[in-house]
Structure 1
Amino acid sequence: MEAIEKIVEQLNQQGELERQQLKQAEITRIDQTYQAELQEIEEDHQKRLEKRIVELKNSYKQNSNRLNVSQKQVILNHKQAILERIFNETILEMEKIPRINQHEFAHNALSGLKLSGEWVFSVGEKSTSIFNEQWLDQQNEVLPYRLVRGAKISGQAGFLLDKAGVQYNFLYQSLIRELQLRESFQFAQRLFE
């Protein structure tokens, strides 16, 4: 019986050894699988993290560019408003020029034109007292062409010459607007350097 007990004990020991080996092999397999899955999860997490960082950098760059453009637009609008106010104030100042200076300006402008025949002289409503009939008669005495009084131009200062649709515009607002179109960039550069 002892021999049987020894055989049973050897079988039990061998079974225990095999069970321990199987257990250890299974633990190793599970650990390797766990480590592989953990590494895969970490790599996936790292890729997503890097992708998100790139997205955030791009978003930051776009927002920064958008903010810069917005700030530049606000500054530009402010500068344009200042220029517009300057040009509008210039029109008002031209309307306040003393009569003698407005007469001189108009005479020089009319004398510089190479015209002939009869031209309609329309006066801005704000200049009717300055370019009156007496002044018009004086100009007709010295100019090589004739001026005929036309209709008043509502809300304007200065004058306009017209003959069959050909016009010479000396309305102060038009003169300043023309100057504004041509020179506003140079004015802005000088003012806002």
Structure 2
Amino acid sequence: MDAIHKIIEEINNQAKDNRDRFEAEEIAAIDSWFLAEEQAATKTHRQQQDKQLKDLQQKYKQLRSRQQMDVRQESLVEKQRYLDRLFEEAYTKMATWDKEEIQGFAEVNLKRLPIAELGVLLPSGPNATMALDASFVAEVQKELAYQLTLGEPLTAGGEGFVVDVAGVQYNFLYRDLLNEQRSLTGNEMSQKLFG
């Protein structure tokens, strides 16, 4: 019987060794699988975090850029409003010139006109119409190289005057002169005023 016990014990030992080896192999395989899954999950998590961080950085850059653009736009609008007020104040000042100032402005500009034909002076606005009358035309005519006559006052256009030479009009309406000046020097003025 001893031999049978020994055989049974040996079979049991062999089976136990097989079970222990199988259990150790399975535990090692499970540990290896778990480690690989954990590493893959960690890698995926890091990739997602990196992607989310890049997305947040991109959104931040876009929002910052948009905010800077809005600030620049608001600043430009404010500068434009300031220039509008400046030119409106200049027009108001010109439109309320007294007779001497209006006549002085007209005389300087009439002398500069490069014309040889008959010119017709067309005052515009109540102040210019009052200042640029027949006596003014007669007085300034003495210093002009061309013939100038007084025409009918303009009913629209604001303060100033126009000189008509055979259908070609030289515009000295104050608002138009200021608008032209603004279009020519507006950027330069902005640079000087706002740096």
Residue 187 of structure 1: aligned partner? 189
State how far apart, in whole Å, the 2-side matches of 1:181 and 1:10 are: 109
Q: TM-score, normalised by structure 2?
A: 0.89
Query: Residues 112-156 of structure 1: CA distance to partner in whole angstroms, max 9, x if unpaired?
Result: 223233223222123222223333343345533122403414141
SS of aligned partner of 1:160: strand
Determine the C-alpha separation between the residues in 2 that align with 1:152 and 1:42.
Answer: 84
Question: Gaps (5+ residues) in structure 1?
Answer: none
Q: CA deviation at 1:92?
A: 0.6
Whole-Å Cα distance in 1 between the matches of residues 109 and 155 of structure 2? 19
Sequence identity (%): 30
Amino acid in structure 1 at the alignment position of 2:123: V
Structure 2 CA distance for aligned equivalents of residues 74 and 181 of structure 1: 21
| Greater alpha carbon shift after TM alignment, 109-118 vs 158-167 | 109-118
State the 4+ residue runs in structure 1 displaced beyond 4 angstroms: none
Contact 1:123 1:153 in 2 (8 A): no
Mean CA deviation greater in 138-147 or 19-28: 138-147
Other-structure match for 1:6: 6
**Contact in 2 for aligned 1:122/1:161 (Cα 8 Å):** yes
TM-score by length of 1: 0.90
Aligned mates of 1:155, 1:165 — CA distance in 2: 17
How far apart in 2 are the matches of 1:142 and 1:61?
Answer: 67
Worse-superposed segment, 68-77 or 150-159: 150-159
The within-5 A match list for 1:159-178 is 159-178=161-180
1:76 equivalent in structure 2: 76
* Cα RMSD after superposing both structures: 1.8
| Distance (Å, rounded) in 1 between the aligned partners of 2:68 and 2:124 | 45
Q: Distance in 2 between matches of 1:49 and 1:164?
A: 79
Structure 2 stretches of 5 or more lacking a match?
A: none
Partner of 1:133: 134
